[in-house]
């Protein structure tokens, strides 16, 4: 028997992945598994650009508003969730669609995760103390100093990932990146990878416009609503940390908006760096649905 087929759609934030994924899923009457590390949270909506009911167009979505910000969600837990979701879909359909912008989650789904060395509580405490005293800037500088390769790829505004990398660096005296991408696990499905991109200036304009649209939709009010939980890992992310700083009186609203735009553009650049490294990705502009469909049909 032929293996089932997973159509995985990758690309930077605001490029138009959701619309393309929904169109393709409707074409094959199948479901979508998201591999976005932020859209899974029930309490977050505007700031994570979660697809609306209208945008989903009746297509079943997995890993959208499936967890609480109080749950511990990471690449390892997503790997099991995503594989279970695909197993359920493939019981009824020979094709499934996956879409998102979190490269590590896609890697977990397609290849599995690398085993990491154990980190002692002493090392964890050392890193936590450094972060408490030096903040995000210290964390960024340390990771860049000890593992410039990983620093060039990671979301540098995400302290959770930086903390984990730094713990490994301290514990082993080796770069965190040296433990990654060792032995891919074979999956019971084939995959076709479609990448979406736009000319850089156009993409950045879309990102800037999206941030303004989010503010008009009520992003500040959304952030105010989760402010009591701002210490949670789920909220250490673009769009929330900047507005938390504004609500604490540290920066103006205009400055916070500019920072969200800047950090979103930086994130898009890192996403593209990650996805451009993947072999066998075929790249399109988001409106080229016919060309994407032709590529899928050739893989079937």
pLDDT value of position 198: 98
Question: In this structure, what token pair is assigned to residue 145?
Answer: 């100093």
H/E stretch holding 8 reads strand 5-10
Q: What three-state secondary structure class fits 35?
A: coil
CATH number at 280 reads 3.40.50.300
Q: Do 32 and 60 touch, CB atoms closer than 8 A?
A: yes
User: Which of 77-86, 116-125, 174-183, 204-213 shows the lowest mean pLDDT across its residues?
Assistant: 174-183
pLDDT value of position 217: 98
Query: What phi and psi, each to the nearest 5 degrees, are found at residue 108?
Result: -60, -40
* 3-state class percentages of the chain: helix first, strand second, coil last, to nearest 5: 55, 10, 35
Between 176 and 233, where is the model more confident?
Answer: 176
| pLDDT over 70 (residue 182) | no
pLDDT, mean of residues 189-210? 98
165 and 246 both lie in a single domain: no
293 and 170 both lie in a single domain: no
Question: In this structure, what token pair is assigned to residue 83?
Answer: 């594989």
Other beta carbons less than 10 A from residue 42's beta carbon: 14
| pLDDT over 80 (residue 245) | yes
107 and 133 both lie in a single domain: no
pLDDT, mean of residues 65-92? 96
CATH number at 132 reads 1.10.20.140
56 and 161 both lie in a single domain: no
pLDDT, mean of residues 24-42? 97
Domain end, chosen from 163, 179, 195, is at 179
Tell me how far apart the alpha carbons of residues 279 and 118 are, in angstroms, rounded to a whole number.
30
Q: What three-state secondary structure class fits 257?
A: helix
125 and 272 both lie in a single domain: no
| pLDDT over 90 (residue 153) | no
pLDDT, mean of residues 101-113? 94
101 and 225 both lie in a single domain: yes
pTM of the model: 0.86
Tell me how far apart the alpha carbons of residues 95 and 273 are, in angstroms, rounded to a whole number.
28
156 and 201 both lie in a single domain: no
Owning domain of residue 209: 5-113+182-299
Give the CA distances from residue 14 to residues 203, 228, 231, in Å, rounded to whole numbers and listed in that order: 7, 28, 27
Percent of the chain exceeding pLDDT 90 equals 86
237 and 284 both lie in a single domain: yes
87 and 32 both lie in a single domain: yes
pLDDT, mean of residues 204-217? 98
The number of distinct structural domains making up the chain is: 2
Domain end, chosen from 148, 179, 210, is at 179
67 and 203 both lie in a single domain: yes
pLDDT, mean of residues 2-12? 96
User: Which of 167-171, 184-188, 200-204 shows the lowest mean pLDDT across its residues?
Assistant: 184-188
Residues 6+ apart with CB under 8 A from 186: none
144 and 11 both lie in a single domain: no
154 and 271 both lie in a single domain: no
Query: What phi and psi, each to the nearest 5 degrees, are found at residue 283?
Result: -100, 140
């Amino acid at each position: 028997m032929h293996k089932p087929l997973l159509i995985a759609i990758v690309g930077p934030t605001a490029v138009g992945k959701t619309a393309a994924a929904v169109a393709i899923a409707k074409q094959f009457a199948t479901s979508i598994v998201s591999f976005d590390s932020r859209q899974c949270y029930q309490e977050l909506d505007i700031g994570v650009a979660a697809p609306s009911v209208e945008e989903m167009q009746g297509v079943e979505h997995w890993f959208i508003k499936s967890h609480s910000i109080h749950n511990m969600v990471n690449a390892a837990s997503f790997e099991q969730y995503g594989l279970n979701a695909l197993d359920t879909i493939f019981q009824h359909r020979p094709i499934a669609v996956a879409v998102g912008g979190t490269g590590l989650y896609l890697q977990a789904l397609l290849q599995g995760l690398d085993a990491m060395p154990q980190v002692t509580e002493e090392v964890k405490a050392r890193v936590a103390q450094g972060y408490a005293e030096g903040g995000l800037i210290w964390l960024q500088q340390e990771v860049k100093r000890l593992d410039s390769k990983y620093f060039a790829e990671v979301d540098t505004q995400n302290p959770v990932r930086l903390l984990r990398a730094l713990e490994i660096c301290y514990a082993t005296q080796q770069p965190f990146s040296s433990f990654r991408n060792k032995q891919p696990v074979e999956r019971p499905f084939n995959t076709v990878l479609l990448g979406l991109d736009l000319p850089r200036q156009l993409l950045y304009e879309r990102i800037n416009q999206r941030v303004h649209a989010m503010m008009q939709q009520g992003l500040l009010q959304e952030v105010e609503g989760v402010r009591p939980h701002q210490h949670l890992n789920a909220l250490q992310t673009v769009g929330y940390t900047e507005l938390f700083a504004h609500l604490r009186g540290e920066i103006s609203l205009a400055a916070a908006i500019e920072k969200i735009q800047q950090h979103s553009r930086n994130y898009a650049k890192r996403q593209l760096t990650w996805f451009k490294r993947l072999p066998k990705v075929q790249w399109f502009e988001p409106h080229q649905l016919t060309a994407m469909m032709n590529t899928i049909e050739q893989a079937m």
